[in-house]
Amino acid sequence: MLRSSSPDQVIDHNVDDESSDLLTWLRRKSGAEISSVLSIGSSNYGRSLFACKPIKAGDVILKVPFRAVLAADNLDPSIHPLLGKNVHGITKLALTILQHQRLGQASEWAPYISCLPRIEDMHSTIFWSVEELQMIKMSSLYEETLRKKAYIEKYFSSIKHVLDRFPEYFEAESRSWTGPRGASMLIAAKDYAPGDEVLVRYGKLPNPSLLLIFGFVIPHNKYEQAIIEINTPKHDPLLALKMDLWDRHQIQSLLRSLELGITLEETSSGDEGGIPESLRAHARILCCTSRQELRYLAQEAAENDGSLARIPLKNRNKELKAHRLLRLRSIQMIENHHAALESMNHLSSGIDTRRMQIARDLLTGELRALESASAWLKNYCETLSVNASLFELQTKQLKSRVCTGATSIRYFFFLSFSCISFDFCISVCLYLLDLDI
């Protein structure tokens, strides 16, 4: 337990022998003081760092020289010739860790290796079983995890001959680790009083990214994200033209994944964008039914900043259709997430309880993002529908009052100085010209 103290009092923490050995080894390995303001203790997050002296924002609170950093350069020189030029540095680092893990106490890095998390303590979805992954099948993270697993297996196959060649260095079980490239430095972003837990900022990451990379989620993450997947109909007669248009505007990658993300922060901010313009643009292009519409979008992009379909469609019905498409898809995904959460109540007791809670938090966060997006889309569609109905009503009323060309002109100038917007007057004038009044 941590004791409270005055701001100037140095706090001593009870640390386990393993952590104490690590600090002693780090000082000896680096030949310098690693940190004089931090100590190791326990919190709800497990092994944690705590301030043992007052810390000011901008202070360097931890500095590890390169010579105390385990890197791919520490791999046994006899192994390097067996590795191809395309073997990634992280793969080499993983081999380095496995080699020194196998050496045990004979390794100069043993105090560090012994403090690395065990496989059962790591909760990245990379390590989840098939049954555990089924809990998040409704999340985009499910497919991303499968892709990442395939990527790792590909790299493993490229080094398997090395593992077989040096069985004395490598155990059968392998892990993938990431590590620093040089001297690491930790700088305080805020003030800490003695006894405060020191946390590392991971950046503005949504829970799927945090879970895949680091193995944890944050309940009520303000950067929560959900992925809305939109499939391009294969029978669309304009599919080739749309793909060419996407390609020329350098958004061909959208077609490969057909997935676009929405974040809770964007949908709840109340700004004009609401949800990503790229997602709305994708839906607008999908709703185009003629070559002329596609040519107009390309011309519109060329005359502005080059972004395709970022301006609302002139045809209000098409604009409404595009956003209704997005809302329908969001509603379907909301229903799927609710069903997935409900199904967890009936899972077998063999599922890891911590990972089950992680899965709940992940899906609940995505559900919040989807519901926020759906609400925004509903409001946009209703506003668009009301405006379209009002425009049609005003146009009909105006048409009934206009009998001659002279009357139409007088009435147009009257409207220009009334409460009706000038844009509406221009639209009506063009409408009257089409009627040859």
Q: For residue 328, what pLDDT is reported?
A: 94
Strands 184-187 and 60-64, by their bridges, are antiparallel
pLDDT at 398: 61
pLDDT at 269: 52
Mind listing the pLDDT tens digit for each residue in 318-362? Answer: 999 999 999 999 999 999 999 999 999 888 777 889 999 999 999
- Can you give the pLDDT at residue 407? 53
H/E stretch holding 30? helix 17-30
Rounded Cα–Cα distance for residues 293 and 267 (Å): 28
- Measured in Å, how far apart are the chain's first and last C-alpha atoms? 87
Distance CA 229, CA 427 (A): 36
Q: Which two tokens mark 358?
A: 């992680």
155 is written with which tokens?
């790299």
Structure tokens at 71: 């890197």
Which pTM value belongs to this model?
0.75
| pLDDT score of 6 | 35
- Where the chain has pLDDT below 70, the residues are 1-20, 171-184, 250-274, 387-437
CA distance 34 to 69: 12
Partners of 128 in beta bridges: none
pLDDT tens for each residue of 80-124:
888 877 787 888 888 888 888 888 889 889 888 888 888 888 999
Query: Are 212 and 126 contacting, i.e. CB atoms less than 8 angstroms apart?
Result: yes
368 contacts: CB under 8 Å, gap ≥ 6: 224, 264
